[in-house]
Amino acid sequence: MAVFAVKSGLLKLRRLGLDLVSGVQRWRAMPGRGEILAEVTTPLWSDDSVAERGLQLGKVQNLRIAAKALNGLVVPAGQVFSFWAQVGPPTRGRGFVEGRELRQGCLIPTVAGGLCQMSNSLHVAAKRAGCDIVERHGHTAVVPGSPFGPNDDATVFWNYVDLRFRPRETVRLRVILTEHDLQVMLERAQ
């Protein structure tokens, strides 16, 4: 565990430096509606055991925070969207709680666990909308119960494992959590 902490700490510092040099931006939410270019709907709840219910609840809380940060964002044509630039640090102080994380094939509890459901959905929606995928990392194994295959998943880990895409036309992200589902849409922005 100590080796992982040191390695991830160094990778986080490296990413921070690269982002400062490259000028990764945060995009603003803007009101409006447009033609839906792509839509992905996934269930919030899986049929996991009662023992994992707390982690499922945590995942949904973490998705709510991410949805608030992403909903309505407008990404200009030719510019890069970065998951972490928009969502920000996933800390307890910002309201993130323990959820499920897949690490080296094992599901473990971790703060902000479950955010990959959002990044997976964004990745698939971006591909369907014709965006260029700039950065994507697959999971080490298929998440049990996941509707995403090995080429559709997009894991994220603050801040050096990111999902980044570049739309060919200006798009608006629409992210909605219902009682049962996560809905991610990319709309044509006017």
What is the chain's mean pLDDT, rounded? Answer: 88
Mean pLDDT over 57-65 rounds to: 96
pLDDT at 43 over 70: yes
pLDDT on residue 102: 74
In the predicted model, is pLDDT for residue 40 greater than 70?
yes
Within 23-43, residue ranges assigned H as helices are none
Domain coverage including residue 72 = 2-188
Q: Does residue 150 carry a pLDDT above 70?
A: no
- In order of 9, 69, 158, 177, the CA distances from 96 in angstroms are 20, 13, 13, 16
Number of compact structural domains in the chain: 1
What pLDDT shows up at residue 106? 75
The predicted pLDDT at position 108 comes to 83
Q: What is the pLDDT of residue 103?
A: 75
When comparing pLDDT for 127 and 18, which is higher? 127
Torsion of CA 16, 136, 139, 149, to 10 degrees: 160
pTM: 0.87
pLDDT tens for 88-138 read 999 999 999 999 887 777 778 899 999 999 999 999 999 999 999 999 988
Nearest to 161 by CA among 2, 14, 1, 63: 14
- Joined together, the tokens standing for residue 47 give 């049929």
Is 81 within 8 Å of 167 (Cβ atoms)? yes
- The average pLDDT across 139-168 equals 80
Decide: 164 and 80 in contact? Cβ < 8 Å. yes
